[in-house]
Amino acid sequence: MSTPVRIAPSILSADFAKLGEEVRAISDAGADYIHIDVMDGHFVPNITIGPGVVKALRPHSDKIFDCHLMISPVDAFLEDFAEAGADIITVHPEAGPHTHRTLQAIKALGIKAGVSLNPGTPAKMLDYYWDLLDLVLVMSVNPGFGGQSFIDSQLGKIEAIRNKMEKMGLDIDLQVDGGVSAVNAQRVIDAGANVLVAGTASFKGGPYQYAANIKALRGKG
């Protein structure tokens, strides 16, 4: 792989009582992206963060704000997240109904667009989105919560998507999210991922551990 591996800590595992400090600490510790999990209690069985929180966090970091929207409907909120400071907005085709149009709308806002596939969603789904994509996110857990176990069957999907990207000559991010840790990071990288999302593994042990946690996630480096 040509691009170096990048680490996107998910702030879902941060201390929500001091989110600004946490975002600063994880940025200083070497995070490449700040992964922000937005959940609505409808598409996924949990409720987390809205655009107001993203806006409040924006002054705390100059890293890429990577907003993973697990909400349905999504279209009405794209502009709010872009204005709040999102650099990337990733959406789920399973949350529908018109993902192609949603991706067009994200691009029209002048930011990067990603599609995220649930563990049960086939990679084939991407075939009609490629020209609109800056990022593909493979979910290696069912979305909704941090701290779940990595689903091994997703390694084959990551590999298939990387192969397809190479065949098409596409230089876009392949991100993996859910249950990623220092123990399996190298396997995920070997399968073809170049951006690893990690919540539990990034924030464990408190701020003094963050730099070591991120280093461990980079694999052999």
Q: What residues are annotated to the active site?
A: 37, 177
Position 45 contacts ligand DX5 (CB under 6 A): no
- The dihedral region occupied by 219, where left means phi > 0, alpha psi between -120 and 50, and beta the remainder, is left
CB 55 within 8 A of CB 77: no
Minimum distance between the CB of residue 137 and ligand DX5, rounded to whole angstroms?
8
What is the distance, to the nearest Å, from the Cα of residue 30 to the centroid of all Cα atoms in its chain? 16
Instruction: Give 35 or 162: the residue with its C-beta nearer to ligand DX5.
Output: 35
- E-state strands within 1-153: 6-9, 33-39, 64-70, 88-91, 112-117, 135-139
Q: Is the dihedral of CA 185, 191, 192, 198 positive or negative?
A: negative
Residues 110-169 that bind ligand DX5 (CB under 6 A): 141, 143-144, 146-148
Residue nearest to ligand DX5 (CB): 199
Give the one residue of 88, 176, 197, 217 binding ligand DX5; rule: CB under 6 A.
197
Which positions touch Zn ion (CB under 5 A)?
37, 68, 177
Q: What is d(CA 99, CA 2) in angstroms, rounded to the nearest whole number?
A: 30
Instruction: Give 40 or 177: the residue with its C-beta nearer to Zn ion.
Output: 177
Instruction: Write out the residues near ligand DX5 by the rule CB under 6 A.
Output: 10, 12-13, 35, 37, 68, 141, 143-144, 146-148, 177-180, 197-201
